[in-house]
Structure 1
């Protein structure tokens, strides 16, 4: 997977807006404030993953599930996250993009299977 270069002023705006928040907040901010919904779904997804990559490379963000950090390289973790991502945007649950609704039984499922953990310079970890 190739990650996009993100301009410093945009990257800083994203951090200021969503640091400490969930993946849903990052997705919403990217879709509404940075790229807009007119940008195709796949490009918004790639931009989102690129932001995650930068945050993880800087040591600001980790992925975790059930109290345990994901293992593997950043690239491997993002590949896992990306591979779980629904192919069809219409499947994303409106209340939280990390959820999908089964069209047959109406049940809601957590497709991401991992959340954000923000890491701060003082050692504090903020689990979302």
Structure 2
């Protein structure tokens, strides 16, 4: 279960102080009714990595209903995670509906996403993945 919305929004606002590779954040949180909220914006990391973030939150259930996380590097999309269902793809069954799109055919090449959830914040997992990518490139 996610923290209460006010706590989650404060945690998101403080990401830059918790993770040193994050250089800037445009994340915004806002309610869109009594039972829903959105998180949207970008985290910019060192070496020109940009994580584009969108989450639709269910405030009553304290869950993420839908999400999209896309990583770009100097204008090239490296990967993205989403929860669009693909029930006819048995390779994704282990983490259904969570999956990651990866090259070479990024739109159609999907792999399971065991670190992604509707019930826990996903950004620590994603930030760690980006930190590892930055370390590998240096």
Query: More helix by proportion, 1 or 2?
Result: 1
* Structure with more strand by fraction: 2
| Greater Cα radius of gyration, structure 1 or 2 | 2
TM-score calculated relative to the size of structure 1: 0.28
TM (norm. structure 2) is 0.27
